[in-house]
Chain A
Amino acid sequence: MSGGLAFVFGLPLVVALGFFALAAYERRTGVATGPGFFQRNGLVIGLYLVIAVGFWAFFIILLPQLAMVEMSFRPKLPPSQMGGPKDVYTLENYRYFLFGSTTSTAEWNWLHIKAFLLTIGVSIAITALNFAICYPLAFHMAQSSTAARLRVLLLLLILPYWVNEILRAFAFRVLLSSGGIINQMLMGLGVTSEPVDFLGADVGLYMGLSYAYLLMMIFPLYNAIESLDKNQIEAARDLGAPWWHIHAFIVMPHSKPGIASGCTLVFMLCAGALAAPLVLGGPRTLWFTPIVYDRFYQAFNWPQGAAYAFILLITCIVFVLLVLKAFRLSLGEITR
Chain B
Amino acid sequence: MAAAVELEGVNVTFGDFVAVKDADLTIEPGEFFSFLGPSGCGKTTLLRTISGFIEPTRGRVRIGGEDMKGIGPNKRPTALIFQNLALFPMMTVAENIGYGLRVRGVPRHERDEKVKTLLIQVALTEHGHKRVSELSGGQKQRVAIARALAVEPSVLLLDEPLSALDLKLRQHMRTELRAIQKRVGITFIYITHDQGEALTMSDRIAVMNAGVIEQVGDGRAVYAEPRTPFVASFVGENNAIRGRVTEVADGLATLDTPVGVLRGRNPVGLSAGQEALLFVRPESMQLRANGSTIGFQGETLDVAYEGSVTHVTLRLRTGQKVTASFSASAGIPLPISGENLRIGFRPEDGLLLARPERH
Contact = CB atoms under 8 A, between A and B. Distances in A.
B202 interface: no
Contact of B100 (A239, A253, A254): A239
B82 A241 contact: no
Contact of B88 (A232, A237, A242): A232
Kindly name the residue among A237, A240, A250 whose own CB sees the greatest number of chain B CB atoms within 10 A: A240
Nearest to B78: A238
Contacts of A240: 74-75, 100, 103-104, 151
A239 B86 contact: no
Contacts of B99: 236, 239, 241, 249
B84 interface: yes
B90 A241 contact: no
Contacts, number: 59
A197 to B, nearest CB: 47
A245 interface: yes
B74 A231 contact: no
Sorting the interface of chain A by its residue count into under 10, 10 to 19, 20 to 34 or 35 or more gives 10 to 19
A147 to B, nearest CB: 16
B86 A237 contact: no
A235 interface: yes
B355 to A, nearest CB: 41
Given A238-B51, A239-B151, A253-B90, A231 B84 contact: yes
B51 A241 contact: no
B72 A237 contact: yes
Contacts of B305: none
Given A234-B82, A253-B90, A239 B53 contact: no
A87 interface: no
A229 B132 CA distance: 15
Interface string B75-114: 1001110111011111000000001100110000000000
Given A231-B84, A234-B53, A245 B103 contact: yes
B73 interface: yes
Contacts of A229: 84, 86
Contacts of B78: 238
A238 B88 contact: no
Given A231-B86, A254-B90, A238 B103 contact: no
Interface string B55-72: 000000000000000001
Interface of B: 51-53, 72-75, 78-80, 82-84, 86-90, 99-100, 103-104, 147-148, 151
28 contacts: A231-B82, A231-B84, A231-B86, A234-B53, A234-B73, A234-B82, A234-B86, A235-B80, A235-B82, A236-B88, A238-B52, A238-B73, A238-B78, A238-B80, A239-B79, A239-B103, A239-B147, A240-B75, A240-B103, A240-B104, A240-B151, A241-B74, A241-B99, A241-B103, A242-B74, A245-B103, A250-B88, A254-B89
Interface of A: 229, 231-232, 234-242, 245, 249-250, 253-254
Given A238-B78, A250-B88, 9 more contacts: A231-B84, A232-B88, A235-B88, A237-B73, A239-B99, A239-B151, A241-B100, A249-B99, A254-B90
